[in-house]
Amino acid sequence: MRVDPATFEPPYARDGDPWNFATSPYELERYATTMELVGRGHRRGFEPGCSVGVLTAQLAAVCDEVVAVDPSPSAIATARRRVDAFDHVGLSVGALPEWWPAGSFDLVVLSELGYYWDRVELAELVRRTADLLSSPGRLVAVHWLGHSDDHLLHGSEVHEVLGEVLGPPDDERRHEQFVAAVWHR
């Protein structure tokens, strides 16, 4: 079971950045921690659930190519404007797992995404995502530790599932509001 991807379009259509991804102190701290774990010098990065492209633009600075997807056409339109200067960023409208990227990646970033599936479907999604990783490769996951009625899992449960599928993370950062972790292949 997963949250219906169509539920994301109305908030983005009403307000281009309904969760203040570009300006909230929480988001800015989350991006900084994410980018610490991401590192530099990636050939090809994949960001599912890219929203309005704030993190996508940051990934473009450390990747030769970025492939990003979101189920909301309005979010993707905003992201396109944000990453317009980067010709090495590809954006698509789609929802995982129906939409799936081609090829392999040395970086996958699962940011604020995992709680929209139940444990069984999330585990399958993590397995498929891990199969996208080249060697060497890096999977970074970052999730909020708060409660939301539209989440099927809490952020800590998402990271439990990640650990069950991928093993213990190589580095984990726990903040008051979020958990961030990286696995290397």
* pLDDT tens digit sequence for 23-33: 999 999 999 99
Between CA 111 and CA 180 the distance in angstroms is 9
**Residue 50 confidence (pLDDT):** 98
Q: Mind listing the domains of the chain with CATH numbers?
A: 5-184 (3.40.50.150)
User: Whole-prediction pTM value?
Assistant: 0.96
- Rounded to the nearest angstrom, the gap between the alpha carbon of residue 47 and the centroid of all alpha carbons in its chain is 5
Quote the pLDDT of residue 169: 98
Instruction: Work out whether the CA dihedral 74, 112, 69, 45 comes out positive or negative.
Output: positive
The one-letter amino acid code at 84 reads D
Within the chain, which residues score under 50 in pLDDT? none
